[in-house]
Structure 1
Amino acid sequence: MGSALVKDPIIYERRTNNLVEEKVPIKLKTALQFLFGTMLGRCIVLTPHFRSYLKRVTLEKGWRYDAKESKAEIAEFISGYGIDTNDMEKPLDEYETLNEFFYRRLKAEARPIAAKDDPAVLVSPCDCRIHVFPTVTEAKTIWVKGKRFNIRNLTGSERAASVFENGSVVICRLAPTDYHRFHSPVQGVVGDDPFAWLGQEYYTVKKLAICTPLNVLTENKRLYFSIRTEVFGEVGVVIVGAAHVASIKMSKREGEEVKKGEELGYFAYGGSTVVLLFKEGAVQYDDDLLSNSKGGAETLIKMGDSLGKRAGSGPLFAASTS
């Protein structure tokens, strides 16, 4: 069968530095191990029939979880994933559908923003399991094994490929248990160019798929835009959908100002990923994130946690105008 079993992800909880286990239902985990961890499974995944099936199931699940009847599934979802409901913005019984609960807002004080008034401190855009890589080459060596993974294919933009050449990459992987709104990691202005919607696949973004030759991040349904900043220069943002993520919704539009930690948008039900791109030499990442990432481990962090700070000063960090 050509089995090449992918090991479970190594995840450190940042505040305690304890190893944590990602909760995945056993039936789903077994199916993913077969589909993405064996040669036969990957051959099946690449067939037009399976890809069409995955898209159909993803869209149908989105519609189902938007229906009023899905409210009855909220309690089981909370129990199954061990979700902390203490930080929710409103009482549990006020959520009318599972999707409404899934992209719930949190109380304002639930996610403090690191160095909120200092634009030189970079923060996490979401609750996630995070990797920081000084270069795309390092990202490909340690984590992303897709054969077509590069900035051009990820963003669909030759200009972005030039701007972020030799730059650094942050990969933020969300799971169903997480708070699923994503926020601005920096203070700046959303780029004037129209949002670029790319891709048409709905592969899972779990390690089982990312660490295989499948081109998950460059083929999945995704959205690319940039944020212009005075401190970090231009920052690229890629919002990646995944299996069972029926939609990506934006709260901000082109040309709008954003504060660090301000909401940019949200995902409907499922796992998903946010990728950040920075110019070469723009960011000095926090030591613990660099160390964990270099060892192939993810770090479990919250939206608003520090990722690092500006690495220098001068013309490199002037906001892009083109």
Structure 2
Amino acid sequence: MTTPSTRGWFQRLVAQEDLNFLLTNRVPRIALTRAMGWFSRIESPLLTRVSMAVWRCFTPLDLSEAKHTEFRSLKDCFTRELKPGSRVFDARADVLCSPSDGIVGACGEVRQGQVYQAKGFPYATAELFGPTQDARVFEGGSYVTLRLTSAMYHRFHAPADGTVEHVTYLSGDTWNVNPIALQRVERLFCRNERAVVRLRLRTGEPIALVPVAAILVASIRLHFLNVLLHLGRRGANEMPCQAPHTKGQEMGWFEHGSTILVFVPPGFELAEGVATGAQLRAGQALLKRVG
């Protein structure tokens, strides 16, 4: 039976979610994202310290693992390097590692070309990958959603030995990718700016990493292309390449915090402990070969 007290708690929760959604999505998202990009690049140690103090009022920012703790700009803090040895990648040959720190969102099997961003909110892999990329190779395979909060380590790494063969950059919106938005905005990942990074493992299997940008973060740096992907690149930008990577090698970074989607073909399963809500660090086992 629902009591007045439980009804009141539920109503307060809904009101908080409504306010969060309003403040992060019912705003000029792209304009704010561009403004944040400009602000984060201002090189002023004093302004950076003040901005970080304000930032800490809203989220726990832990710099204990950072290689440096003094920054010229907010961007330098967002994209900070860590001390050597802070992230150790699982060396087992049958394991694909988490490419980044993150909180596991929806994960599971790709079925009939569909996956989920949240319970009851499916989207098509064909739409996510864009009109030029074939996602059918991942039918019956697995996917994992990794959400990076603003305070997390923002760099991402190769989950295994292999070669990046192609990148498709798709410009788009900058909806927030927090759980509240994922439960309210249909096909959100397919609407947002994103890059489809296609890799072939040394053992021959294709995999894909799809970094998805969000409000206040619409810049993705890919080191192997020496290019910054951002809102100014309209349409589908095709970038074929042959970029070998070893497991754990840094691939790029987000300039704030967002999401990486990982896709693998049949023959893999989720590693032990990988489930919705689990918090992972780059290098931990994410998927493993079956058999």
Residue from 271, 274, 283 that aligns with 2:268: 283
CA distance in 1, matches of 2:182, 2:12: 10
Give 3-state SS (helix, strand or coil) of 1:248's partner: strand
1:144 Cα deviation from its structure 2 partner: 5.8
Residue from 155, 160, 173 that aligns with 1:201: 173
CA distance in 2, matches of 1:141, 1:203: 17
Q: Aligned partner of 2:30: which letter?
A: K
- Structure 1: 5+ residue runs without aligned partners? 9-25, 313-322
Residue from 158, 174, 198 that aligns with 1:184: 158
Q: Is this contact kept in 2: 1:241–1:273, CA < 8 A?
A: yes
CA distance in 1, matches of 2:55, 2:198: 34
Q: How does 1:165-184 map to 2 (within 5 A)?
A: 165-184=139-158
Richer in strand (by share): 2
Question: Is 1:66 aligned to residue 41 of structure 2?
Answer: yes
Question: Is 1:272 aligned to residue 258 of structure 2?
Answer: yes
Residue from 16, 23, 32 that aligns with 2:20: 32
Q: Aligned partner of 2:179: which letter?
A: K
Q: What does residue 72 of structure 2 align with? A: 96
Q: 1:11-53 deviations in whole A, cap 9, x for unaligned?
A: xxxxxxxxxxxxxxx98x65324579xxxx8xxx5xxxx5xx2
Q: How many positions carry a matched residue from both structures?
A: 263
Q: Is this contact kept in 2: 1:61–1:246, CA < 8 A?
A: no
Give 3-state SS (helix, strand or coil) of 1:238's partner: strand
Give 3-state SS (helix, strand or coil) of 2:85's partner: helix
Give the direction of change, closer, same or farther, for the CA distance of 1:7–1:197 in structure 2 (3 Å limit). Answer: farther
Q: Aligned partner of 2:41: which letter?
A: D
Q: Is this contact kept in 2: 1:172–1:274, CA < 8 A?
A: yes
Question: Is 1:224 aligned to residue 201 of structure 2?
Answer: no
CA distance in 2, matches of 1:212, 1:82: 26
Residue from 58, 61, 68 that aligns with 1:83: 61
CA distance in 2, matches of 1:216, 1:54: 14
CA distance in 1, matches of 2:210, 2:78: 21
Give the direction of change, closer, same or farther, for the CA distance of 1:75–1:232 in structure 2 (3 Å limit). Answer: farther
CA distance in 2, matches of 1:201, 1:79: 27
1:80 Cα deviation from its structure 2 partner: 4.0
Q: What does residue 101 of structure 2 align with? A: 127
Q: What does residue 88 of structure 2 align with? A: 112
CA distance in 2, matches of 1:34, 1:169: 30
RMSD: 2.9
Q: What does residue 152 of structure 1 align with? A: 126
1:158 Cα deviation from its structure 2 partner: 5.8
Q: How does 1:128-143 map to 2 (within 5 A)?
A: 128-131=102-105, 133-137=107-111, 140=115, 143=118
CA distance in 2, matches of 1:110, 1:220: 31
Q: Aligned partner of 1:216: which letter?
A: L
- Structure 2: 5+ residue runs without aligned partners? 1-9, 226-240
Q: Is this contact kept in 1: 2:101–2:153, CA < 8 A?
A: yes
CA distance in 2, matches of 1:57, 1:305: 34
CA distance in 1, matches of 2:12, 2:126: 27
1:209 Cα deviation from its structure 2 partner: 1.1
Richer in helix (by share): 1
Greater Cα offset, 63-72 or 176-185: 63-72
Greater Cα offset, 131-140 or 118-127: 131-140
1:143 Cα deviation from its structure 2 partner: 1.9
CA distance in 2, matches of 1:111, 1:127: 9
Give the direction of change, closer, same or farther, for the CA distance of 1:130–1:74 in structure 2 (3 Å limit). Answer: same
